[in-house]
Structure 1
Amino acid sequence: MSKRTGTKRKAAEAAETKAKRARGETDLSDGLKWSQHGEVMKGVCPLMALTSPTLPGSEKVVGFDIDFTVIKTASGRKFAQGSSDWEWWDECVPQKLRDLNAQGYRVIFFTNQAGIEKLKAKPEDIMKKVEDMIAELAIPVLCFVCTGNNHYRKPSTAMWDFFVENANGGVKVDLSKCKYVGDAAGRAKDWAPGKPKDFSCSDRKFAANIGIGFATPEEFFLGEKPPPFEWGCPDPNQYLKNNKPPPGSKDFIAKTQELVMMVGCPASGKSTFRKRYFEPHGYTAINRDTLGTMDKCLKACKEALSKGKSVIVDNTNPREDARQPFTQLAKKQGIQCRCFVMNTPVELAKHMNYVRQNQTNGEVRRIPEVGYNVYKKGFSAPTKKEGFSDIVQIDFIPKFDSKSDETLFKQWTSVER
């Protein structure tokens, strides 16, 4: 075979391997095979999973983040320059992972790779890197990759839940025998001499949400003592300390036709409030998320009012000029217009933003940070001079429709100060 022919064959084999990885058809030892899960968003599936139908399940699991936990860039850069730009985080890492496997632990990688959704990283590069790591380890390792800012992203437990439900051979995991290791641990700048601040606390939160132990790479591999850390946001459980009973519909419903306008930042609870207290009493809901444009909202509002129905508008409505067309409609109709202001703290609203994404399994994507910045920049507090007959302040009072909703609310999310 000529050198040129051999080069062409290698190129063809590489192209075929790349195509198989993209299709999730790469076969590895121990029956390990890639698969993709969830509805395609922005051209990629939200979850890539490397699992095996033949590996026995284990009640003992040690999970690891990948970047700067089990490996680091060989180039010394913050982000890898291709699938081959890696080396073990420390020379002791490979044998430590092999020892865990020998002791009956299932070794698993759980990693956030938002660069895939942002088109800054290629799925096949991540797959190749993981495959090369496993080949060098010579032990079976499962891997779960969240490809963007979706409901699988740590600290959400969705990747762990997927493993337990679909990739552990039906064996029940004993949480007391499990641990997660990661570098996103909430450590402050100079937690060790010259060390930078951790970019987040998401790995520590991930372990806490699952209910398993946590360690940093330094603690787990090198035996160092745990340094101080901060969660980076309020504990969601602190918002449940308000024991005030939730109000009833009778506290809000008018006896005559009216127009109600909601004011509140994204995910502050407007829609839940509307559905719980107003819609059951025949109020027509006007929502820009559903109707698309302000013109369509105004048109729908006019039609409902002309039929004698009460209306509730639950857009964010931060500015007076956004509220004015509706107050004028109420005035023209000769009915009262009340304003309900959601006093939900912004950090809590951001938390519920993530909770909503997790509740809907990603069907409702979280509002990006810019949405809160735009709301804050344009906000002006409503006054009666605008034409409101009353302005009602609504404080956050916890009330859950199911136990699963309460459990999700109590989990740490990606909110960081």
Structure 2
Amino acid sequence: MVRPKRKATEAAAMEAKKARGETDLSDGLKWHQAGEEIKGVNPVIVLSSDTLAGSQKIAGFDIDFTVIRTASGRKFARGSKDWTWWNDSVPEKLKAINKDGYRVVFFTNQAGIEKQKVKPREVMTKIEDIISQLGIPVIALICTGNNHFRKPSTMMWDYFLENCNGGVKVDLTKCYYIGDAAGRAKEWAAGKPRDFSCGDRMFAANIGIDFKTPEEYFLGEASAPFKWCSVDPDKVLSDAPKPPAKKQEYHVKGKEIVILVGAPASGKSTFRKRYLEPYGYLAVNRDTMGTMAKCLKAAKDALKEGKSVVVDNTNPSMSARSDFLDLASKTGCPCRCFVMNTPIEVAHHMNMVRQNQTNGQVRRVPEVGYNVYKKNFQEPTIEEGFTEVLKIDFVPEFGSSRDEQLFRQWTFFG
């Protein structure tokens, strides 16, 4: 009597969930979003379970062109149903390692979500279908954009350890990661294109676990030559000058204008915070003040009050620097130029490191920012009106052990 009504209610609820694209999964697996929103999107979407037992052994996998490929043969899938197994051996292999006590975990970058080229539900539905066909529990983490969770950053792995493994400490010697972004050159095998990046191999290296390509893992093929396609952060640190025993001084007693010149993430802001601002220099920056007019007004007001000014922008060209040089000339104030002598590839690396150090609060500068800087760069000279031009070498100094740890992780720009 009451039972038919309950069944009708349950059926209606199931239909409503189906209409929303939601799926009931076994083993208590449920979707949730994590991390602070960036541009209205959470940086990571997680499929996990509060009841699933943790494991010391983790088998991590990329998804696209590792576990599956597009059924259409296209590079990018046409909807959530455009997929087939990467190889017929994949499902049985995943079932076998699950039976052997491994927890299967998918870690996937899906920047198309942030770019609004793909809807989150598309990716989630695809993963649900994969798990349904496998018939085993799989935890999944989806990075939704070019944020601090994006591989090769270890933050998806770290989140998994802290929140999705039932408090069980993993044994890194028994864990591994499989992915197709392995740094292989074009024609690494007959007819094969080059890998988009080395991001999956870097991800495993940053964690400290073994890595294999899908060809090696599922097909038993020999490993192919590869390149990291990025600076080696450990070598950068070993080759860089050591910090001097005594802190250097770059400030002057009288008022002046200092113009910083350097590529994005080359160390300009760190330099002025460490060596100039503590001595009363006012930082003017278009990123925070909005316009050149506001920067110039702030600089004029500071000089009237007897304060020095440091101009913290990339300032690559003579025209970008001319307004402040004119202000220095009109006010009879000396103007020095500090050029960040940081190799561009190291600046690229620090661009990604900075995003990770700030947990995404400072977003990475897109490639176009570096291209514009290189296109417009004109070497500063005394003839331009500077009283002095100094080149500042890259000397790494870390505020914490975490900052150094993040610097030592592999990164790629893409």
1:45 aligns with 2:42: yes
- Candidates 286, 289, 295, aligned match of 1:288: 286
> How many equivalent pairs are there?
404
CA shift, 1:188, in A, is 1.1
Contact 1:242 1:397 (C-alpha < 8 Å) held by counterparts: no
Amino acid at match of 2:281: Y
Quick one: distance in 2 between partners of 1:131 and 1:280? 54
Amino acid at match of 2:168: V
Amino acid at match of 1:202: G
Contact 2:229 2:412 (C-alpha < 8 Å) held by counterparts: no
1:278 aligns with 2:279: no
- Candidates 308, 313, 316, aligned match of 2:314: 316
Q: Runs of 5+ in structure 1 lacking a partner? A: 1-9
The 1:249/1:262 distance shift into structure 2, 3 A limit, reads: farther
Where 1:49 maps in the other structure, the secondary structure is: strand
**Which residue of 1 is the match for residue 349 of structure 2?**
351
Contact 1:341 1:394 (C-alpha < 8 Å) held by counterparts: yes
1:54 aligns with 2:51: yes
Contact 2:240 2:394 (C-alpha < 8 Å) held by counterparts: no
Amino acid at match of 1:99: A
The 1:310/1:220 distance shift into structure 2, 3 A limit, reads: same
Quick one: distance in 2 between partners of 1:132 and 1:364? 36
Quick one: distance in 2 between partners of 1:278 and 1:242? 26
The CA RMSD measured in Å over matched residues stands at 1.8
- Candidates 404, 410, 413, aligned match of 1:412: 410
1:167 aligns with 2:157: no
**Which residue of 2 is the match for residue 31 of structure 1?**
28
Identity of aligned residues (%): 64
**Which residue of 2 is the match for residue 131 of structure 1?**
128
1:17 aligns with 2:18: yes
- Candidates 137, 142, 150, aligned match of 1:140: 137
Amino acid at match of 1:216: T
The 1:116/1:18 distance shift into structure 2, 3 A limit, reads: farther
**Which residue of 2 is the match for residue 4 of structure 1?**
none
CA shift, 1:12, in A, is 9.6
**Which residue of 2 is the match for residue 6 of structure 1?**
none
1:212-255 CA-to-partner distances (Å, cap 9, x unmatched) read 00000010011111111111122111111246332555531212
Contact 1:152 1:159 (C-alpha < 8 Å) held by counterparts: yes
Q: Runs of 5+ in structure 2 lacking a partner? A: 1-10
Where 1:161 maps in the other structure, the secondary structure is: helix
Amino acid at match of 1:255: K
**Which residue of 1 is the match for residue 108 of structure 2?**
111
Where 2:321 maps in the other structure, the secondary structure is: helix
CA shift, 1:13, in A, is 5.9
**Which residue of 2 is the match for residue 251 of structure 1?**
249
**Which residue of 1 is the match for residue 185 of structure 2?**
188
Quick one: distance in 1 between partners of 2:36 and 2:18? 24
1:327 aligns with 2:325: yes
Quick one: distance in 2 between partners of 1:28 and 1:301? 60
1:225 aligns with 2:240: no
CA shift, 1:11, in A, is 12
Give the alignment's TM-score, normalised by structure 2: 0.94
Contact 2:241 2:394 (C-alpha < 8 Å) held by counterparts: no
Amino acid at match of 2:376: G
